[in-house]
Amino acid sequence: MKATKAELSPAAERGLTSTAGLGQRLRVVVVHRAEEILAEVPRTLRRLRTFLLVLSVSVPLFLLGLVAVLWHLHTD
């Protein structure tokens, strides 16, 4: 849900500059930012899963190649 600028600043449009108006504005902004952060969680988890998959394949292959090279150098 995308909020428009008017929805994010109801206190400014009505001329509410009191503490209650400021508190309402801050609550709206905090809720909006929290929704944005929570929307990023699934994407971040997918990227982390992909990173761990690549890491779990590449590190053993690297170590296997390193052992092969060291074995080859040792037998010469």
pLDDT in tens, 9-33: 554 555 556 888 899 999 999 999 9
The confidence score (pLDDT) of residue 57 equals: 97
Say if pTM beats, i.e. exceeds, 0.75: no
% of the chain exceeding 90 in pLDDT: 67
The confidence score (pLDDT) of residue 16 equals: 56
Concatenating the DSSP letter of every residue in the chain gives -PPPHHHH-HHHHHT--SHHHHHHHHHHHHHHHHHHHHHHHHHHHHHHHHHHHHHHHHHHHHHHHHHHHHHHHHH-
